[in-house]
Structure 1
């Protein structure tokens, strides 16, 4: 058994997910986890599929032959142990470089950023752009979590950090 991590990008149109799902099923793959989104007229995503070794190469070839999609794949063995993680909900006034600042602090504090979902919108009643993100970070020990939160809050006085320990 192997796992195939698939990333794709194509002009948004109906049926992209259905096409991917049918190709995966046809080649005996099992859709594990995914994240997909429409962005500026494109549809992009990443997903993980498990498949028996004997069907892996044919599945990869079929995915790369889907018309209108740029597909990239990587094959790996499934991970056996789960990392302990925390979730950080971050809110701040939006500005250039905010992701760089946040990711640099997480790295410097010994954290491993395993998932990041960010959005931008208008702050209610102010009209100013607001940055919101949910970050999943693997980090060990309560003292490291506290140091990480303090370092993130030191980025700017408008950055709010909520921690959810899982």
Structure 2
């Protein structure tokens, strides 16, 4: 089961989509190794990493158009390989909370990109503050920080950067 396929699916949110999508993968003799699924507005977005033997993955690829029609979703499929280990990295988590305004994700991504730090995972959400109802924005990231990075300097630069942008932030090693 070393062969891998990424499936991206997007369509109107309705009950039963996960059941039907996962059933299609299982019925094809494949396995969902990793996934992200969420509702964005009125749309249901899915990312799946599917593993299986070459023939079973080919079956999924061949059934893609029919499944799009059955699910009412747009499907994109791409063969992939296991990500090679590229050097020595330390996993760090970043959590940021701020008043919602445009550019937060871009500013954070730019900060880490300029330091050659890869963003492994990123999720955001908005919510109303408890007592005031003010629109808030939260970001959670997992980073691949090169082991050669001086962490105290990175932390200081990051927290200064966040202070300038009025972002409440924490950066700490990922545990576990």
TM-score by length of 2: 0.84
Match of 1:112 among 105, 114, 118: 118
Shift of 1:130: 1.2
Deviates more, 1:55-64 or 1:143-152: 143-152
Q: Please list every run of 5 or more consecutive structure 1 residues that lacks an aligned counterpart in the other structure.
A: none
Q: Is the 8 A contact 1:102 1:152 kept in 2?
A: no
Q: For residues 70-109 of structure 1, what are the alpha-carbon distances to aligned partners after superposition, in whole Å with 9 as ceiling and x for unaligned?
A: 0111111223549531111111121111111010001112
Q: After the TM superposition, list the runs of 4 or more consecutive aligned residues in structure 1 that deviate by more than 6 angstroms.
A: none
Give the match for residue 132 of structure 2. Answer: 126
Shift of 1:151: 3.4
Distance of aligned partners of 1:75 and 1:120 in 2 relative to their CA distance in 1, 3 Å threshold: same
Shift of 1:149: 3.2
Distance of aligned partners of 1:43 and 1:99 in 2 relative to their CA distance in 1, 3 Å threshold: same
Q: For this pair of structures, how many residues does the alignment match?
A: 166
Give the match for residue 169 of structure 2. Answer: 161
Question: Per the alignment, in what secondary structure is the counterpart of residue 139 of structure 1?
Answer: strand
Question: Per the alignment, in what secondary structure is the counterpart of residue 102 of structure 1?
Answer: helix
Alignment RMSD: 2.0
CA distance in 1, matches of 2:159, 2:138: 14
Q: Please list every run of 5 or more consecutive structure 2 residues that lacks an aligned counterpart in the other structure.
A: none
CA distance in 1, matches of 2:150, 2:17: 42
TM-score by length of 1: 0.89
